Amino acid sequence: MVNIRRYENNPVVTTADVPPSREDFEVVCAFNAGVTSFGDETLMLIRTAERPAQEDGWVVFPVFNAETGETEVHRLRLDNPDLDVSDPRVIHHGLLRYLTSISHLRLARSKDGLNFTVDAEPAIEPASEYEEFGTEDSRITCIDGVYYIDYVGVSHLGVTTCLAKTTDFVTYERVGMVFCPDNRDVVLFPEKIGGKYAAYHRPAPRAIGTLSMWLAYSPDLIHWGGHRHVIEPRADMWDNCRVGAGAPPIKTDRGWLSIYHGATFDDWYCLGTLLTDLDEPHKVIARSTQPLLKPEADYEMKGFYGHVVFTCGTTLDGDRLRIYYGAADTVMAVAETSLSGLLDDLR
Amino acid sequence: MVNIRRYENNPVVTTADVPPSREDFEVVCAFNAGVTSFGDETLMLIRTAERPAQEDGWVVFPVFNAETGETEVHRLRLDNPDLDVSDPRVIHHGLLRYLTSISHLRLARSKDGLNFTVDAEPAIEPASEYEEFGTEDSRITCIDGVYYIDYVGVSHLGVTTCLAKTTDFVTYERVGMVFCPDNRDVVLFPEKIGGKYAAYHRPAPRAIGTLSMWLAYSPDLIHWGGHRHVIEPRADMWDNCRVGAGAPPIKTDRGWLSIYHGATFDDWYCLGTLLTDLDEPHKVIARSTQPLLKPEADYEMKGFYGHVVFTCGTTLDGDRLRIYYGAADTVMAVAETSLSGLLDDLR
């Protein structure tokens, strides 16, 4: 059994630590942060979900308008018979879908990786028609000194993955859309494999197919192909409904180690480990049968969307692996384990 | 109103014209052919759907096994309470999906574009784990003297689009998977745009999003990115549920002309026309408000899956445009119109 220890002062970031981006919005979730070591600091790009004040008898929700460049406030009457707001995350209005909140990415810095200071302004926020419902879960991968940030862009056209890059975490250059709908949980490998960039991704097929992890290659980080299936959900296990990459893969002597997430049909999200071939990372060497981390703590069980632990990034210091994770879709937490221990467990 | 004329001897290919690939299979559909002019001939790569003989009390269906290289015959008892065979195309077995038939691509040749001779053997047939349920609807695009054939590969992992190429329609080189699940209705443009190859594609998002046509670019025809949305379904029209590219786009003075398909929520499939910008073909110049072709003829209304007209290819001779189309998911038919007439209609 792997020894994993939650930080005693979890959560490390809550909504109270994140000032809203405008006065009429409240921050409802600060979670699923991309994470990287940068100089002597640990940086997080926190998915910060905001919404306008609610009004009696209405659901009030934000939508970014790419033509005006403004985030607008929309309202629908709760007694509308075509309306379903039973999912706290999604508004079903007939065939239309909206999100109850809009997310941007907010930078937070820490010297010790445990105590974070959150910027006052967004780092990456909705800027195109493909981001009208928000810019969500990011992953950060440093390749040859450049920090690539992939993030989810959501609109009524679908759930896409877009790419930005930075060298200083002050200015960010948008590269564009890299995976078309539906695709999220994209993690870039930190180096080329066989002469090409590589990524795990998680398409969400509609008619036939499972919510599986796939591998793709790219000559330039923009254009992706050569898709290979990696892992799919396992019947009767903690990852029986969906799986997706979590943190960017870590290179080890024995293969690429990934912390991934799996969920059940009733949306319990756990973390697990996956070891894949160094040269052909669609080939699985080992996969944890038990969850590495499952929702147990109060801040993991209760929140905007309960019983969820979900990682988008880790930091490695010698053998000490810190796993940063969103808990209950509401806050950021951290757990610590040893890389060698994870690898031993996968023997 | 556009003048379009069905060929009086439609259909031009029926299942009776296509010998089965093995003695214990019957051909149930010969439809949705990719089409090209090649030398003095018109060639079709016909989607040929086959199934084993059915047995009382059972549904009997084919699945390609990539490990053995053989197509195996599977059986499920019809009184199985988890079984749903109400859709003639798909078997629902609990959470699992199978297809009732398995498709390969079969070459047919014609000197006059109307009378076709069908090869005895498959041209492209299932060969990988991503094709266990078949190789389906193809499109053929000639770029710089090479004929690129994209086709749909279906497996329990999802609906993907794969690429092959040929210069002689005798041997075919497989290039690999170009679009991950769910993606079909991929058409390559016949030339580079802005220095890159281009394609329309039709992802099928699961959670949020419509069944829309998208554009993507590629440096090498293998890796795709820079995705842009093109058109989505239109409420209260003949294409209110789904749209997808049909035949590869035709370059005209006024823009790229595409014959696309649209369907309603009760699965009536019609053809329409779309004119897009020559340099930025995600920008729509015009789109037909009325269907160019809608199911009316007996062979379009009745068959394996009725009220469907669906094109994967055209041929152009001067101003005469021949639209080849699958009818009722069962046979191949052809209709003739004038390119200038289509363009006039889009003014």
Task: Give me the DSSP letters along B331-346.
Answer: EEEEEEEEHHHHHHHT
Find the CATH number of the domain harbouring A235. Answer: 2.115.10.20
* Residue B304 maps to a domain: yes
> For position A272, what pLDDT does the model report?
98
A170 CB-side CA count, 13 A: 1
Task: Locate the chain B residue with the closest alpha carbon to A204.
Answer: B206
Q: What average pLDDT does chain A have? A: 97
B254-298 residue pLDDT tens: 999 999 999 999 999 999 999 999 999 999 999 999 999 999 999
pLDDT for position A45? 98
Mean pLDDT across A40-52: 98
Three-state DSSP state, B16? helix
CA of A144: how far to CAs of A37, A167, A255, in Å?
Answer: 14, 10, 20
The count of domains in chain A is: 1
Q: What is the structure's pLDDT at B95? A: 87
Q: How far apart are CA A262 and CA A269, in angstroms?
A: 6
DSSP label at residue B54: P
Please state, in angstroms and rounded to a whole number, the distance separating the CA atoms of residues A304 and A62.
Answer: 17
**Residue B3 falls inside a structural domain:** no
Written as six digits, the tokens of B118 are 């069908």
Q: Which chain A residue's Cα is nearest to B183?
A: A205
Chain-chain contact of B176 with A226 (C-beta, under 8 angstroms): yes
Within a domain: A140: yes
Evaluate if residue A219 carries a pLDDT over 90. Answer: yes
In a domain, A4, yes or no: no
Chain B 29-48, residues with CB within 8 Å of chain A CB atoms: none
> How many residue contacts between A and B have a Cβ separation below 8 Å?
141
- Give residues 54 to 93 of B whose Cβ lies within 8 Å of A: 90
Work out the pLDDT band at A95, boundaries 50, 70, 90: confident
Instruction: State the residue range of the domain holding B18.
Output: 9-345
Chain mean position to CA B69: 25
**A219 three-state secondary structure:** coil
- Assign A207 a pLDDT band (cuts: 50, 70, 90): confident
B278-281 contacts at long range (C-beta below 8 A, 24 or more positions apart): B278/B193, B278/B251, B279/B193, B279/B194, B281/B189, B281/B193, B281/B198, B281/B200, B281/B215, B281/B230, B281/B249, B281/B255, B281/B256
Contacts of B212 in chain A (CB under 8 A): 157-158
| Alpha-carbon distance B138 to nearest alpha carbon in chain A (angstroms) | 19
Phi, psi of A58 (to 5 degrees): -130, 155
Confidence (pTM): 0.96
pLDDT at A229 over 90: yes
User: Hey, what are B339's tokens?
Assistant: 């390119």
Name the residue among A9, A19, A29, A105 with its Cα closest to residue A313. A105
- Any domain includes A333: yes
Domain presence at residue B4: no
Q: B212 with B204: CB under 8 angstroms?
A: no
Calpha distance A51→A24 (Å, rounded): 8
Give the integer Cα–Cα distance in Å for A155 and B19: 47
For residue A201, the chain B residues in CB contact (below 8 A) are 180
pLDDT of residue B1: 72
Cβ B146 vs Cβ B37: under 8 Å: no
pLDDT of residue B185: 98
In this structure, is residue A2 part of a structural domain? no
Residue numbers of B between 138 and 167 with CB closer than 8 Å to A: 154-160
Q: Measured between beta carbons, which residues in chain B are less than 8 angstroms from residue A216? A: 180
Is residue B149, in this structure, part of any structural domain at all? Answer: yes
For residue A191, report the phi and psi dihedrals to the nearest 5 degrees: -150, 165
Tell me the pLDDT of chain B (347 aa) as tens digits. Answer: 789 999 999 999 999 999 999 999 999 999 999 999 999 999 999 999 999 999 999 999 999 999 999 999 999 999 999 999 999 999 999 989 999 999 999 999 999 999 999 999 999 999 999 999 999 999 999 999 999 999 999 999 999 999 999 999 999 999 999 999 999 999 999 999 999 999 999 999 998 999 999 999 999 999 999 999 999 999 999 999 999 999 999 999 999 999 999 999 999 999 999 999 999 999 999 999 999 999 999 999 999 999 999 999 999 999 999 999 999 999 999 999 999 999 999 98
Which pLDDT belongs to residue B2? Answer: 84
- Say how far apart CA A21 and CA B51 lie, in whole Å: 59
Helix ranges (H only) for chain B are: 298-301, 339-345
Chain B nearest-CA residue for A232: B157
**A204, B206 contact by CB (below 8 A):** yes
